[in-house]
Structure 1
Amino acid sequence: LGDEPGVGAAFKMINQLLAGVHIAAASEAIALAARQGLDIRKVYEVITASAGNSWMFENRIPHVLDGDYAPRSAVDIFVKDLGIIQDMARSAKFPVPVAAAALQMFLMTSAAGMGRDDDASVARLYARITGTDLPGEPQT
């Protein structure tokens, strides 16, 4: 990746920026689909075959569909990493408004007691604050 110290860490943070944003967007999309009364399993099937798909959507949304939030990658990891990205960007005087919005969603999810749960729990936060039903969550 390069001979300079910190280059590998910077590469990792660029990856984590994309991963965090994609998880937050996937969570928002599936929760909105549920709120609209759509069959979220069908939404998953359609999106994974469409241009809106991402690796994170394809990997994390099955956790939501199964109501399984056992941690594979915890919410608090993205609180940490997106915070590092904010610091990195601030030092470079570079705006990262989309990453900042994703960080706020992970922070809210953590503050709601789900910090150690799977990062797909961002969808649970959306469900809870909007009164939307998701598998494995108490019915509203």
Structure 2
Amino acid sequence: MIPVKQIVAIIGAGNMGGAMAAHLLAQGWTVQVCDIDPSKVAALEKKGALALATPAQAAIDSVAFVVCVVDAAQTAEVLFGDHGLARMLQPGHTVLLCPTIAPQEVENFATRLAAIGVFTVDAPMSGGPARARDGSMSLMVACAPAVYEAQTTLLQAVSAKVFRISDRPGDGARTKLVNNLLAGINLVGAAEVLALAERLGLDAGRTLDVIEQSSGQSWIGSDRLRRAIAGDYAPRAHITLLEKDTRLALEAAKAAGFEGPLGARASQVFAEAHQAGLAELDDAAIFKYLANR
């Protein structure tokens, strides 16, 4: 059991941040949480979390300050806004950046934090809320070796799959974008073939049974399409998240002078589904979009 004197502040208590907070609370950590949605904070208070009205109210003796919001704009506000963490951060403090954002944004944030003596751990997450809640999600970590050593206890507490990417903040984001581009390609592909199976008169569930035990299997295909077959589109990860992530991955690819045959088309499908009115649904709704074309 982790001593309760260890405090961690989590800014952003949505699907992933909230699940991470619940997991740490169950291990005995003292967890402070802040979110623009009071109901999310209230739910974690019932589990023992301490509520923050603003990021700047985080305890100065926190082990680390975990930013778990959606995008770069929200990250900038959490860090450097009027009520942001930078107002109370001291030299030697550490910020974990967990959102999926552009590598250049991570580098920019790390540079700004370094200017006030604050360390950055580039630590995007993967695996979804259920895995964040049970501690089996993946973390792709890039930071200086001494910072990694100092934060090993926390990193291992939140994830059983900590991947040490490099010493350079930004490389975690690069790895996450590569992963999520493949996730997007796999999801669009799985939804396409299942929509085709139905059009051919096949039973979608039985077809997926075969795929899961054959060469076409993918984790995201099984996870999302089981829900899609059941008509369950309640958002765990909105369509807009993979729309954003695949777009960022393509921007990183362009900057590196690389162009592949599949990523751009998969990204376009997410954008089309958004425009078709599915933005607030789970990304399993890619199946619904393709099946209704």
TM-score after normalising by structure 2: 0.43
For residue 25 of structure 1, what is the aligned residue in structure 2? 189
- Cα shift at 1:119: 0.6
For structure 2, which runs of at least 5 residues remain unmatched after alignment?
Answer: 1-164
* Distance in structure 1 (CA, Å) of the matches to 2:225 and 2:169: 36
- Cα shift at 1:6: 0.4
For residue 82 of structure 1, what is the aligned residue in structure 2? 246
* Distance in structure 2 (CA, Å) of the matches to 1:81 and 1:126: 20
Q: Deviations over 1:46-81 (max 9, x none)?
A: 111111101111111111110111111111001100
For residue 114 of structure 1, what is the aligned residue in structure 2? 278
For residue 138 of structure 1, what is the aligned residue in structure 2? none
Instruction: Give yes or no for contact 1:20–1:78 (8 Å, CA) kept in 2.
Output: yes
Aligned with residue 47 of structure 1, among 181, 201, 211: 211
| Matched letter for residue 92 of structure 1 | A
For residue 63 of structure 1, what is the aligned residue in structure 2? 227
For residue 124 of structure 1, what is the aligned residue in structure 2? 288
- Cα shift at 1:43: 0.2
- Cα shift at 1:97: 2.6
| More RCO (CA 8 Å, sep 6+) | 1
Runs (4+) of structure 1 exceeding 4 A deviation are: none
| Matched letter for residue 279 of structure 2 | G
* Distance in structure 2 (CA, Å) of the matches to 1:89 and 1:4: 18
The two structures, once aligned, show a CA RMSD in angstroms of 0.8
Please give the secondary structure, in 2, of the residue aligned with 1:97: coil
| Matched letter for residue 121 of structure 1 | A
| Matched letter for residue 243 of structure 2 | V
TM-score after normalising by structure 1: 0.89
For residue 136 of structure 1, what is the aligned residue in structure 2? none
For residue 72 of structure 1, what is the aligned residue in structure 2? 236
Instruction: Give yes or no for contact 1:86–1:96 (8 Å, CA) kept in 2.
Output: no
* Distance in structure 1 (CA, Å) of the matches to 2:292 and 2:218: 24
For structure 1, which runs of at least 5 residues remain unmatched after alignment?
Answer: 130-140
Aligned length: 129
| Matched letter for residue 22 of structure 1 | N
For residue 262 of structure 2, what is the aligned residue in structure 1? 98
* % identical aligned pairs: 38
* Distance in structure 2 (CA, Å) of the matches to 1:57 and 1:127: 15
For residue 174 of structure 2, what is the aligned residue in structure 1? 10
